[in-house]
Amino acid sequence: MFTLDTNIVIYFLKSDFKVANFLRERILENSRFNISAISEAELLSYPEITQEEIVKIENVLRTTPIISVDSQIAQLSGYFKRNYRISLPDAIIAATSYLTNSTLITRNAKDFEKIKEIETQIL
């Protein structure tokens, strides 16, 4: 099981070879993916986003389970933000990864690699 960081979805939508290849290989292995609800918000929040990009994002979101922020994720997010001094969105994504027992796939090594409680894979 893998949790996709927001930046991985962005790189995938931009046809980044490394990200697309990694995801394709995991799909062939029947791996499962999820995305935090905060990533859904981040993906759709860019002021310059085009309608075409919105459609692409919605296609990805339609095929990937979205994990809502519940009380358990909120509490763990607070712990991660407080103890690792990361942004709240990153803390929510890390908590989602931890509570779904999944590996976090990201390009944000600086913030996520310091969180000992989660397994990360940097692409």
**What value does the mean pLDDT take over residues 22-34?**
94
CATH number of the domain within which 58 lies: 3.40.50.1010
Instruction: Note down the domain range covering 7.
Output: 2-122
The yes-or-no verdict on residue 30 having pLDDT over 90 is: yes
Report, as an integer, the average pLDDT of 62-87: 98
Residue 47 or 101, more confident:
101
Whether the per-residue pLDDT at 1 is higher than 90: the answer is yes
Per-residue pLDDT at 111 exceeds 90: no
pTM comes to: 0.93
The count of structural domains within the chain is: 1
DSSP string, the chain: -EEEPHHHHHHHHTT-HHHHHHHHHHHHTT--EEEEHHHHHHHT--TT--HHHHHHHHHHHHTS-EE---HHHHHHHHHHHHHH---HHHHHHHHHHHHTT-EEEES-HHHHTT-TTS-EEE-
